[in-house]
Homo-oligomer: A and B are copies of this chain.
Amino acid sequence: MSVMFRLPAVVRKINPPGKGESARFATMQTLESGGEIRITDLAQRHGVTQPGMSQLVDRLVEAGDAVRKRDDFDRRAVVVELTDQGRQTLHDRISVAADALDHLLDRLTESERAAIDSALPALQKLTSWTHLEDGDAAAHV
């Protein structure tokens, strides 16, 4: 299972550097699928601290890719939304990364590609959880 440590290298390779940190596009994907989401939720989902997510959102807003809106029902809270430009930015990036990934996948055999395909729903599920339970990584540190 230690292949997990090497997966970020694959992401680095298909995802050109210098244009966005590791959590940026994942966060944008969450925003696209989920609509209006709170800073705290985004932070938990992506494994960063609340201030860290606040700063990431700063960068998205500054780039014109997202907007902050005050929640009218709980005025302490902020909800974040992707702008049209943000959606465009995200799709452009996914398209570049998908091309690069295709080139890598080309070197696998048909059955290897099929194996990865079959695992995608499970991986998707794995990446969708917001919380760790007690006894998980944080507790071991």
Q: What residues on B are CB-neighbors of A126 within 8 Å?
A: 10, 104-105, 108, 116
A74-131, CB < 8 A from B = 94, 96-101, 103-105, 107-108, 112-113, 115-116, 118-129
CB distance from A20 to the nearest CB of B (A): 10
B26 touching A101, Cβ below 8 Å = no
CB A32 to nearest CB in B, in angstroms, measures 10
Rounded to whole angstroms, the CA-CA distance of A137 and B99 in the bound complex is 8
Q: How far is the CA of A138 from the CA of B96 in the complex (A)?
A: 10
Q: Is the CB of A133 within 8 A of B7?
A: no
Residues of chain B within 8 A (CB-CB) of A125 are 108, 112
Chain B nearest CB from A126 CB (Å) reads 6
| Binary contact track A32-52/B, C-beta < 8 Å → 1, others 0 | 000000000000011110000
**Does A25 contact B9, Cβ atoms closer than 8 Å?**
no
Q: How far is the CB of A30 from chain B (nearest CB, A)?
A: 8
A4-B14, A22-B8, A97-B5 known; A123-B116 Cβ under 8 A: yes
Question: Can you report 8 A-B residue pairs in the complex whose CB atoms are below 8 A from each other?
Answer: A7-B127, A8-B22, A9-B23, A19-B141, A103-B132, A103-B136, A104-B129, A115-B119
